[in-house]
Structure 1
């Protein structure tokens, strides 16, 4: 008997020593466990929040495409939700909430965030491609939706879909009510990609009064500066402090904008200093429709969890895809993303369009995750998971051997991302800057030499061929018709290049 007890204690000590208890997934709910009427329908791009006082997770909205038509080429109208559900962490059961008519309209892809008083949502896309910019709060005290006031002096954000932002959740777990702002920025509308940032100033965290104000970060640098991120959608973001916003990746193309889709960059915005700072993201993959949530700070460490997303895209030629037992963690002391192994035997399916929020289950701090579109099942999901994260010791573990060597903790093979935009730039440089310039040099300075025309046309036609291929990859990457100055000037230059050999023959 005593030997068995000692053996169990030894296993626990070994577990703690090896860091096995620092981070693990726990499935709280499987969407196959209950009757349909007792659970929310599977969905993606919803809103999620955590009520610390009543120990429950709140879900709102989202959308779902009929699975029977998901693999067909015919257009299928998505099903949009405007329902609100709670998951009781003590009984592990779902319950529908708020049947009042005074509630937000059905939507998905909205900004969502929560304080200890309620779940806030703003913007999103509604029925018939309707872009929204209203602001609502679901009050945890009486389970009612209320529309937040936006005064006449407010500089309200434009209606948009898939914005970034949120509220830092530090005040959920202590008695102090920090007057944090709600941040909102970027996202897209039908004909515009936004790169602006706003914040909503609360009178207090329970008040329905407040106003929007714009944060001017690009006024002196222009929208395409290297000092701040370009406008984007389908990005993941979270607040890592009351005035610091962390974002990763996203799509820069579409809505009369251009750029990588997905992009490989990460940034931190500091409202205190009113500036953006680049984050080292070379060891994590670019992705779309991912989700991120902050991890409760231990005083000096600011961190966030980034899980899954759409890491494979038509524009990506090479990348390192995370394994199912890995997540990305932000390390503020090194200002970089690292890959960490999650211990255990059961892991959530890789997915995109899922939602995550900071929370607490039993005595453990961590992150809740709900829904999304499963990569293996090829279907919309409705499961709920909790990722326990011990922030005080998590960075003491060795980093995933896929990206770092175990013994030296040095980079092994991080920068593996290569896309059709990179290929476009390389081909255009080889074709225009090298081959066509060589042909022009031959034509101007060696035209009296023997075989000069043969060499001229050889280099010129080879250069035009490579430029043509590069142009195709450029349009393949842009996801739209030419509308930017870069693409318009590029097409005009390409037409002039085509005329050159014709003029030479005349």
Structure 2
């Protein structure tokens, strides 16, 4: 027993001494027949043949339907080389980019689905490439077929031939529904059935991820698929949210539920991640755009070229930021987006992207790398919009209304306080309103439409105040004064109610942490109770004053 303990300790020491940190290596290529496209294509790996495959994408010649195979040479998990060759197929899918893909080992096929063609037409077909015949074949898909889409996340469930697809942009809307199609025996049947395993979530439902595109996604285990970031705002319906975003989730296949992960990274889109070899339930995320707009909407420190980010579900922290070790000769790749990542041969492969056509690998144990503090601090126009609108609609306008309703004493101070709070609230609301449109989202979803109406009513109030009929002390109010007061009161209360409703919607829309919106609902509940109490006191006092006035008249 003592010998066994000593041997175990010795083995642990040897393993620790031999552990190497995550390290970059630039892959040498032994052929000039390199893929002509290197952005937004699909990359796969077949272990049986030790081959990478790359299809479609955008390159110097535009959108292609080319197929390239990379034969890997060298030790598994070590210093490898790549021999690229183009495959001349007779029946390839149409040229496309932003498509979904995955490799089924048992059938030895590479699957692609959806995407967008060179005419900007969104696709919903599905094809597979047979490594043995070196040709493409169309799949006759039945069942609940996914709507046309591109730029989402996909993969084959590890250990199966089930192709998994989620998220994506459909043209005028984004998706968050999830599908699976079982391609077992597809090379013999050519027919398979799509199944919907999780419906879309609207942007005000905290139980699932917002609809999005341009996000990262990968399988961590045979039961879990993780996503990060992407672009959440949309052209219509119930979609909306930050673009780029910073939230991450994983889908549990057995229970068919999404679970949100802790926040760590700054917003990113056009980003990729792939599972880490020899690390259970973990993945590495790399690259992406911090901000993809002409007008900057994200303020944060730019990641260094050597930063990689790790998702490890086996740890309480979940997310980690690390400094990857450089290739001794070639250093580290230039930070990029529009690239591809895939795991195989004991390595994580990174190909192409906005910085060129190179093929790189990552290998090693991330726990040995230098740590970067998490979370990465950032600030966005969406957050600024939310803060300004909370101060305007949740504080200033409400205070002004409470003073006007319950503090009309003989001293005219109440009137000046009312005006001060309303003008301050209007200033904050206008500033927040402008910030709300900087992310280029279209005002077709409820939060935006309610906000536009509420803002119009708020702007109407000072205009309406300019036409207030005079009131002479000791005289009864005129009919016009009562009409003016009724319009001012009704439109003001409608605006106040819409403002509170929109704060509730906005907290879900912007993916606020759960404690934030729980605290807000507690405050809102307390405020409603306060209004009920104050309104009760108001009417009791009014009733007593009227009775006292009647008694005085009788006397």
Summarize deviations over 1:454-497 as a string: whole Å, max 9, x none: 433332222111100101111113x2331111111111111111
Gapped regions of structure 2 (runs ≥ 5): 1-12, 74-80, 469-555
1:450 counterpart = 2:412: yes
Summarize deviations over 1:35-63 as a string: whole Å, max 9, x none: 5xx22224211111123233322111001
Alignment partner of 1:127: what SS? Answer: coil
* Aligned residue among 38, 42, 45 for 1:43: 38
* Aligned residue among 384, 400, 409 for 2:359: 384
Alignment partner of 1:432: what SS? Answer: helix
Give how far 1:422 is off. Answer: 0.8
Aligned length: 437
| CA root-mean-square deviation | 2.6
Structure 2 counterparts to residues 90-489 of structure 1, below 5 A: 90=73, 92-100=82-90, 102-116=91-105, 117-151=108-142, 154-169=143-158, 178-204=159-185, 206-207=187-188, 208-217=190-199, 224-256=204-236, 257-280=239-262, 282-297=263-278, 301-313=280-292, 314=295, 316-334=297-315, 336-345=318-327, 346-360=331-345, 365-374=346-355, 381-390=356-365, 394-395=366-367, 397=368, 400=371, 402-403=372-373, 414=375, 416-444=377-405, 445-446=407-408, 448-477=410-439, 479-489=440-450
Summarize deviations over 1:336-366 as a string: whole Å, max 9, x none: 1111222234111100010111111xxxx12
Aligned to 1:8: none
Task: For 2:277 and 2:19, locate their aligned partners in 1 and report how far apart those are by CA, in whole Å.
Answer: 19
Give how far 1:451 is off. Answer: 4.7
Alignment partner of 2:23: what SS? Answer: strand
Task: For 1:34 and 1:215, locate their aligned partners in 2 and report how far apart those are by CA, in whole Å.
Answer: 43
Higher helix proportion, which one? 2
Alignment partner of 1:194: what SS? Answer: strand
Give how far 1:371 is off. Answer: 0.8
Verify the 8 A CA contact 1:237 1:247 in the aligned structure 2.
yes
Larger radius of gyration: 2
Task: For 1:215 and 1:54, locate their aligned partners in 2 and report how far apart those are by CA, in whole Å.
Answer: 32
Greater relative contact order, per chain length (Cα 8 Å cut-off, separation 6+): 1
Task: For 2:313 and 2:409, locate their aligned partners in 1 and report how far apart those are by CA, in whole Å.
Answer: 61
Instruction: Return closer, same or farther for 1:261/1:84 CA change in 2, 3 Å cut-off.
Output: same
Aligned to 2:515: none
1:501 counterpart = 2:476: no
Task: For 1:199 and 1:79, locate their aligned partners in 2 and report how far apart those are by CA, in whole Å.
Answer: 31
Give how far 1:223 is off. Answer: 5.8
Give TM-score scaled by structure 2 length. Answer: 0.73
Summarize deviations over 1:115-140 as a string: whole Å, max 9, x none: 33121111100021111111111111
Summarize deviations over 1:237-286 as a string: whole Å, max 9, x none: 01112232110111111231311111111111112011111112x22222
Give how far 1:97 is off. Answer: 0.5
Task: For 1:15 and 1:261, locate their aligned partners in 2 and report how far apart those are by CA, in whole Å.
Answer: 47
Instruction: Return closer, same or farther for 1:15/1:343 CA change in 2, 3 Å cut-off.
Output: farther
Give how far 1:227 is off. Answer: 0.9
Verify the 8 A CA contact 1:181 1:200 in the aligned structure 2.
yes
Alignment partner of 1:461: what SS? Answer: helix
Task: For 2:99 and 2:251, locate their aligned partners in 1 and report how far apart those are by CA, in whole Å.
Answer: 20
Alignment partner of 1:92: what SS? Answer: strand
Task: For 2:401 and 2:18, locate their aligned partners in 1 and report how far apart those are by CA, in whole Å.
Answer: 64
Give TM-score scaled by structure 1 length. Answer: 0.80
Alignment partner of 2:402: what SS? Answer: helix
Task: For 2:160 and 2:369, locate their aligned partners in 1 and report how far apart those are by CA, in whole Å.
Answer: 37
Instruction: Return closer, same or farther for 1:144/1:99 CA change in 2, 3 Å cut-off.
Output: closer
